Chains A and B, each alone.
Chain A
Amino acid sequence: MVSPSLSTTRRGALGLSAAAMIGATLRAANAAPDGELRIGVHVSLAPTWFDPAETPGIITPFLLMYAMHDAMMKAMPGDPVTPCLTESWTMARDGLSYAFTLRKGVLFHNGDALTAEDVKFSLERYRGAASKTLKERVAGVDIHDPHRLTIRLNEPWPDFLTFYAAASGAGWIVPRKYLQQVGDDGFKKAPIGAGPYKFVSFTPGVELVCEAFESYWRKAPVIKRLVFKVIPDEATRLAALQRGEIDIAYSIRGELADELVRTPGLTIKSAVGSAPFWLYFPEQWDPQSPWHDPRVRLAASLALDLKTMDQALTLGNSRLTGSIFPENFEFYWQPPAPVYDPGRARKLLAEAGRARGFDAGDYYCDTSYANIGEVVLNNLREVGIQVKLRPLERAAFFKAYSEKKLKNIVQGASGAFGNCATRAEAFVVKGGTYVYGNYPDIDALFAEQAAEMDRAKREAILHRLQQLVHEKSIYAPIWQLAFISGVGPKVGQSGFGLIRGFPYTAPYEDLTLKGKA
């Protein structure tokens, strides 16, 4: 039996706790953003990145776009296509149009309400990556009222949302009226968006300062000011973090990452981006080449001691997926985990008539990642495959790779946006930019999925396609590279790794400083 006094006390305590919780919640809800977070950025910030219309096909501009702008839908924690400025969308049965309902009450930083006119304007104005593809396939935009619109297509296009939401900046919305007032150049000098942080100042080559936009629809940011400080040298960036001049340092690699781990108060954070690395055997279609035999290609794959390499080069943070497709991409199929088995590799080579190993010629790679090549070379030598490292300067490497001029072994990588279909188109299917030969069964599957509007059926086809890539050992996958950064003692929630495949800190409105959350 519970005594009345105890019961009263308990009720009282519960009541007090509830009141305290409500009070804390209200305080948190009403608390003004406070404090400053300084982020040491590894690249120079370009004003072109302030304008979503000019989004190139690289991930870097998104580190600013997640702060200053917002999209119809974008990758967020737990969901790669999260409705943001749009509440919902529906595809027409014939696949020829998509109807969107916009979120109400969304404001731009200048106080203007975001409407369907802005969405139409942003799509029509878009001229960045994939703009040609979008413009060729989008027939027009119909506005029904300020919060409802329909995007019409010329023909059914299963990848429309991939391109609109992920592979371009067309779905990132800019204010039409303001842009028409100030023009493109004026917009880059004083950008206005609908994101959680508003632009304050930009000093080229030095820093970008942003301030919390308290009317952000999702929630008001906790941190008052974000300062993106440009520090191109990696060692200097680490020194600035150690000294407390910055709170987050992007891209700290190799020995400097070891130093970071050893520094008290600093923590290492890694985020795996959408950039898998692999070995490609461009001569596998030549019957005279040792690589023509799938057993030899599999042997090369089994010879790779990926776990040791991962530990040595990225402190165990890269993802060993066994695939050339990013695991965060739509329609991803997870192959069996990669295995390191030099004994089996030698056996396979013997079965293929290469018991004494063979001279495999040159190993081409981008100089920036020659350190990976050095480890792979040693692994291959251990099973008898002799190769010579031929690092090429980045632009020269990708030019030669795309012009089909490389031979023997190519160490490739890609961080291009899209989904597994777009990735297959570039790297697996006949006619692809980096495809040196093809397999008819894979090509047939690709053509079949391109015409399939049923998502489940399309997924099944693309899974089968990836399975064939794996079974034929067209590639020897290495890893999905980790982007390693350092975080200082002041930071609470750093945001690294919250969004799958996104290497930077985001969403910015979720970041906190210790003791200020």
Chain B
Amino acid sequence: MKQYIVRRVGYSLLSLFLLSLTIFLFVRVTGDPVSLLVEPGASPDDIETMRRQLGLDQPLWVQYGHFVASFVTGDLGLSFYYRTPVLELYFQRLPNSLLLAGVAMALSLLIGIPSGILAAVRVDGFWDSAGKIFSLLGLSLPQFWVGLVLILFFSVYLGWLPSSGSGSVAHLLMPAFTLGWYFAAAHMRLTRSSMLDVLGSEYIKLARLKGLPEALVIGKHALKNALIPVITLAGINLVVMINVAVVVETVFAWPGIGRLLYEGITFRDFPVVQGVVVIGGAMIVLVNLMVDILYALIDPRIRLES
């Protein structure tokens, strides 16, 4: 078991190293941020001064060395655009992202799981078709479009909800729904397919043969097992919602990490993009590591096989 955990931690650290190297090189391939921070026509002196101030005059390997050394000490560098430590920016936005992601996740599960169960129980019936349409729309309609339609309808025409910003429950409803719908559709599809698998299994057939009420078969025996992959996916999705709700946060002017990432990409703010991606990656790696360890604890075959 100890060897298994050490190996998993090693893989996780390697993943993080590769992620940091990839994102470090990738953002630099996209071009020179200085050209976005000064006006076209700025003097070569100004461009050079700016490049020096941002540390971009250093060779790539030196820049990467600084990045890694700072990261290890918990310093993600200074944002080019804000001239503020990236970690400070990240933690300023984190509560907003947690709130939005939490509510969106709750909505997505509240909508996705019951509709997925209904679709599986009434397979090929009306509710299954309705569920398919719902999930198809949720996955295919662009979030910016859904967001703008909601703003037009609920803010401009009805005047019920504020169009953007944060600070109250009313501000949260539209962005949470827009973000949640996409994930609700994904959760609905997974719940449906998982439920169909479970409902076809031998122990469910036995439960039915024993004459257990259908509600008990589905609610107690089938749902427990069917939800395992859904909950696993929801955990990963929560990390995604926190870190990359870029479109929703931009459309609704929600001050979260997704918008920070959007700004980072727009202004080629290398430290911000690197910081957000690496923290997001670290969260996913950590979640996966914990899941791997839990699986190994629960199922001895996993640690023995590995």
- Check if A398 is an interface residue, CB within 8 A of chain B: yes
Q: Contact between B30 and A395 (Cβ–Cβ < 8 Å)?
A: yes
A399 with B41, Cβ < 8 A, contacts A233-B253, A236-B164, A243-B163 known: no
Q: Which residues of B contact A236 (CB under 8 A)?
A: 148, 151, 163-164, 251-253
Q: Contact between B156 and A129 (Cβ–Cβ < 8 Å)?
A: no
Q: Contact between B31 and A204 (Cβ–Cβ < 8 Å)?
A: no
A415 with B40, Cβ < 8 A, contacts A395-B33, A399-B32 known: yes
- Check if A57 is an interface residue, CB within 8 A of chain B: yes
Q: Which residues of B contact A127 (CB under 8 A)?
A: 53
Contacting B35 at CB < 8 Å: which of A398, A412, A422? A398
Q: Which of B39, B46, B49, B162 has the most CB of A within 10 A?
A: B39
- Check if B168 is an interface residue, CB within 8 A of chain A: no
Q: How far is the CA of A425 from the CA of B259 in the complex (A)?
A: 38
Min Cβ gap A474→B in Å is 15
Contacting A239 at CB < 8 Å: which of B37, B156, B250? B156
Q: Contact between A242 and B44 (Cβ–Cβ < 8 Å)?
A: no
Q: Which residues of B contact A415 (CB under 8 A)?
A: 39-41
Q: Contact between A394 and B35 (Cβ–Cβ < 8 Å)?
A: yes
Q: Which of A12-20, A149-157, A383-391, A426-434 contacts B (4 or more CB under 8 A)?
A: A426-434
Q: Contact between A239 and B263 (Cβ–Cβ < 8 Å)?
A: no
Q: How far is the CA of A329 from the CA of B49 in the complex (A)?
A: 25
Q: Which of B14-63 contact A (CB under 8 A)?
A: 30-33, 35-46, 48-50, 53
The size of the chain B interface, using a CB distance under 8 A, is: 51
Per-residue B-contact encoding for A352-377, CB less than 8 Å = 1, 0 else: 00000000000000000000000000
- Check if B203 is an interface residue, CB within 8 A of chain A: no
Q: Which residues of B contact A499 (CB under 8 A)?
A: none
* Smallest Cβ-Cβ distance to A130: which chain B residue: B46
Min Cβ gap A248→B in Å is 15
Q: Which of B251-271 contact A (CB under 8 A)?
A: 251-253, 255-256, 259-260, 262-263, 268
- Check if A487 is an interface residue, CB within 8 A of chain B: no
Q: Contact between A242 and B156 (Cβ–Cβ < 8 Å)?
A: yes
- Check if B152 is an interface residue, CB within 8 A of chain A: yes
* Smallest Cβ-Cβ distance to B36: which chain A residue: A395
- Check if B288 is an interface residue, CB within 8 A of chain A: no
Q: How far is the CA of A398 from the CA of B262 in the complex (A)?
A: 21
Q: Contact between B83 and A245 (Cβ–Cβ < 8 Å)?
A: no
Q: Which residues of A contact B151 (CB under 8 A)?
A: 235-236, 239
Contacting B41 at CB < 8 Å: which of A47, A235, A414? A414
Q: Contact between B156 and A243 (Cβ–Cβ < 8 Å)?
A: yes
Q: Which of B152, B163, B256 has the most CB of A within 10 A?
A: B163
* Smallest Cβ-Cβ distance to A231: which chain B residue: B253
Q: Contact between B36 and A47 (Cβ–Cβ < 8 Å)?
A: no
Q: Which of B48-99 contact A (CB under 8 A)?
A: 48-50, 53, 81-84, 89, 92-93
* Smallest Cβ-Cβ distance to A203: which chain B residue: B255
* Smallest Cβ-Cβ distance to A136: which chain B residue: B45
Q: Which of A230, A231, A233 has the most CB of B within 10 A?
A: A233
Q: How far is the CA of A132 from the CA of B162 in the complex (A)?
A: 47
Q: Contact between B46 and A58 (Cβ–Cβ < 8 Å)?
A: no
- Check if A56 is an interface residue, CB within 8 A of chain B: yes
Per-residue B-contact encoding for A95-133, CB less than 8 Å = 1, 0 else: 000000000000000000000000000000001011111
Q: Which of B225-260 contact A (CB under 8 A)?
A: 250-253, 255-256, 259-260
Q: Which residues of A contact B53 (CB under 8 A)?
A: 127
* Smallest Cβ-Cβ distance to B263: which chain A residue: A44
- Check if B166 is an interface residue, CB within 8 A of chain A: yes
Per-residue B-contact encoding for A223-259, CB less than 8 Å = 1, 0 else: 0000001111101100110110100000000000000
Q: How far is the CA of A183 from the CA of B303 in the complex (A)?
A: 55
Contacting B259 at CB < 8 Å: which of A131, A205, A414? A205
A240 with B42, Cβ < 8 A, contacts A395-B36, A399-B35 known: no
Q: Which residues of B contact A56 (CB under 8 A)?
A: 37-38, 50
Min Cβ gap A412→B in Å is 7
* Smallest Cβ-Cβ distance to A244: which chain B residue: B159
Q: Contact between A414 and B253 (Cβ–Cβ < 8 Å)?
A: no
Q: Which residues of B contact A129 (CB under 8 A)?
A: 38, 42, 46
Min Cβ gap B176→A in Å is 16
- Check if B165 is an interface residue, CB within 8 A of chain A: yes
Q: Contact between A426 and B43 (Cβ–Cβ < 8 Å)?
A: yes
Q: Contact between A232 and B250 (Cβ–Cβ < 8 Å)?
A: yes
Q: Contact between A48 and B49 (Cβ–Cβ < 8 Å)?
A: no
Min Cβ gap B36→A in Å is 5
Q: Contact between A47 and B83 (Cβ–Cβ < 8 Å)?
A: yes
Q: Contact between A395 and B148 (Cβ–Cβ < 8 Å)?
A: no
A47 with B82, Cβ < 8 A, contacts A130-B46, A233-B251 known: yes
Q: Which residues of A contact B148 (CB under 8 A)?
A: 235-236
Q: How far is the CA of A402 from the CA of B46 in the complex (A)?
A: 14
- Check if B155 is an interface residue, CB within 8 A of chain A: yes
Min Cβ gap A356→B in Å is 35
Q: How far is the CA of A427 from the CA of B40 in the complex (A)?
A: 10
Q: How far is the CA of A395 from the CA of B165 in the complex (A)?
A: 30
* Smallest Cβ-Cβ distance to A239: which chain B residue: B163
Q: Which of A229, A395, A433 has the most CB of B within 10 A?
A: A395
Min Cβ gap A469→B in Å is 15
Contacting B163 at CB < 8 Å: which of A245, A402, A412? A245
Contacting A395 at CB < 8 Å: which of B255, B259, B268? B268
Q: Which residues of B contact A423 (CB under 8 A)?
A: 41
A395 with B92, Cβ < 8 A, contacts A245-B163, A434-B41 known: no
* Smallest Cβ-Cβ distance to A207: which chain B residue: B165
Q: Contact between B152 and A239 (Cβ–Cβ < 8 Å)?
A: yes
Q: How far is the CA of A415 from the CA of B83 in the complex (A)?
A: 23
Q: Which residues of A contact B37 (CB under 8 A)?
A: 56, 58
Q: How far is the CA of A393 from the CA of B265 in the complex (A)?
A: 12
Q: Which residues of A contact B89 (CB under 8 A)?
A: 204
Q: Contact between A414 and B40 (Cβ–Cβ < 8 Å)?
A: yes
Q: How far is the CA of A230 from the CA of B50 in the complex (A)?
A: 26
- Check if A447 is an interface residue, CB within 8 A of chain B: no
- Check if A194 is an interface residue, CB within 8 A of chain B: no
Q: Which of B91-126 contact A (CB under 8 A)?
A: 92-93
Q: Contact between A205 and B50 (Cβ–Cβ < 8 Å)?
A: no
Contacting B250 at CB < 8 Å: which of A47, A207, A233, A414? A233
Q: Which residues of A contact B262 (CB under 8 A)?
A: 232
Q: Contact between B251 and A414 (Cβ–Cβ < 8 Å)?
A: no
- Check if A29 is an interface residue, CB within 8 A of chain B: no
Q: Which residues of A contact B155 (CB under 8 A)?
A: 239-240, 243
* Smallest Cβ-Cβ distance to A275: which chain B residue: B39
Q: Which of B41, B81, B155, B259 has the most CB of A within 10 A?
A: B41
* Smallest Cβ-Cβ distance to B254: which chain A residue: A205
- Check if A54 is an interface residue, CB within 8 A of chain B: yes
Q: Which of B42, B49, B167 has the most CB of A within 10 A?
A: B42
Q: Which residues of B contact A131 (CB under 8 A)?
A: 49
Min Cβ gap B21→A in Å is 22
Q: Which 5 A-B pairs have the closest CB atoms?
A: A205-B255, A414-B41, A416-B41, A395-B31, A48-B83
30 A–B contact pairs at CB < 8 A? A44-B82, A47-B82, A47-B84, A48-B83, A56-B50, A57-B38, A57-B39, A57-B46, A59-B39, A129-B38, A129-B42, A204-B92, A205-B259, A205-B260, A232-B250, A232-B259, A240-B155, A240-B163, A240-B164, A245-B163, A245-B164, A395-B30, A395-B35, A402-B35, A415-B41, A416-B38, A416-B39, A426-B43, A433-B41, A433-B42
